[in-house]
Chains A and B, each alone.
Chain A
Amino acid sequence: MRLKMVLTMIMGLTFSFSAMAVSSPDEMLPDHHQEKRAELIGSKLRCLVCQNESIEESNAELAKDLRKIVRQHVAAGESDHQIMEWMVARYGNFIRLKPPFNKLTLLLWGMPFLALIFSGMFIWNLIIRRPSPQTPLDEKEKHRIAELIKDE
């Protein structure tokens, strides 16, 4: 019984996070499929006023205007790529919450792979390439030990 309650609470939390669009009903497109697409595009665009929120999450006036524009373009039948390009032409790559892959962002995108390679090398060295087990004593060493013990 208690488990069920906890589960419900977790579910509630998850859903409250996923329900991010602040679009009031009058902002939304009548076509459910188009509205979903507009929300997805909007969630990839940075609100330039609050900067770490997407235009779907932000309540700033500019975000509201940009949401409207995204919906107009979606309704006009433009592709996601075309809408993104329209935004980038006006606000630069900064408006993309996900930076594009180019010369400038090479290190940014490559960092996880670099980290994986370096940590892999480190672990390989630590675990796989352990120093080889001790070789048994040769005749000379055995002789020397025997002598040392004899002296005791």
Chain B
Amino acid sequence: MKSITRRRLLWSVPFATAAVAGGGFWAMLSGLKSGKFDPHEINTPLLNRPIPEFHLDVQPPGMVFNPIILRQINKPILLNFFASWCIPCLLEMENLQKLSSQIDIWGIAYKDKPENAENFLQRNGNPYRYLGNDLKGSVGIEWGISGVPESFLIMPGGMIRWHYPNPLGEAAIHQIHSLLRKS
């Protein structure tokens, strides 16, 4: 009798494993579907940490900035990496223009020639209060970006509060507003 219960118990192990694995996969797939789980997401280690050190070149028509100026802000700002060669950045511009009346946006032209980025801003409007150029992409690496556009919400004192590695849409703007209300 004892050996039979043992045997049954042992037989149930593979089924239990399959059930647990199935449950796990189900959770993963439903998360993928609802957008709560994204295995491609790059969770930046910079969140809730001070801004990194970086050096930007001049990007007309704006005033250039550096970490010292960025740390001295007394209200939250949005830092936005963009490029004239980047189509999603073009799509994002309209939202950035709208947003620029509510929050200061500082721009970094990523892997872009200054004259190309300047033309881009002349054609599509310039929502940026400060501008910098990162021709070699080394500033982008300091900030851990993997492409453009990417945006960071920076709090007074230079703390990184929020990161968004996609063009800003309705949902992202909503997130920014709720973070601004909290601050």
What residues make up the interface of A, taking CB atoms closer than 8 Å to B?
A: 48-49, 51, 61-62, 65-66, 69, 88-92, 94, 118, 121-122, 125, 131
Contact = CB atoms under 8 A, between A and B. Distances in A.
A42 to B, nearest CB: 14
Interface size class of B (residues with CB under 8 A): 20 to 34
B146 interface: yes
Interface string B46-59: 10000010000000
Closest 8 CB pairs of A and B: A48-B146, A90-B144, A92-B45, A91-B144, A65-B137, A92-B43, A94-B42, A125-B10
Contact of A90 (B6, B7, B45, B147): B45
10 contacts: A61-B137, A65-B141, A88-B45, A90-B143, A91-B44, A91-B146, A92-B44, A118-B17, A125-B6, A125-B7
A65 B145 CA distance: 12
Contact of A118 (B13, B45, B138): B13
Contact of A49 (B3, B7, B147): B147
A56 B10 CA distance: 46
B40 interface: yes
B115 interface: no
A48 B150 CA distance: 14
Contacts of B143: 90
B45 A89 contact: yes
A65 B147 CA distance: 12
Interface string B9-34: 01001000100000000000000000
Nearest to A125: B10
A104 B141 CA distance: 26
B142 interface: yes
Contacts of A92: 42-45, 144
Interface of B: 3, 6-7, 10, 13, 17, 40, 42-46, 52, 111, 136-138, 141-144, 146-147
Determine the main DSSP class of A at the interface with B. Answer: helix
Contacts of A125: 6-7, 10
Contacts of B42: 48, 91-92, 94
A61 B42 CA distance: 17
Given A62-B147, A94-B43, 10 more contacts: A49-B146, A49-B147, A51-B40, A65-B136, A65-B138, A66-B141, A90-B52, A94-B42, A125-B6, A131-B3
B47 to A, nearest CB: 10
Nearest to B45: A92
Contacts of A90: 45-46, 52, 141-144
A13 B143 CA distance: 40
Nearest to B41: A94
Q: Which of A65, A69, A88, A94 has the most CB of B within 10 A?
A: A94
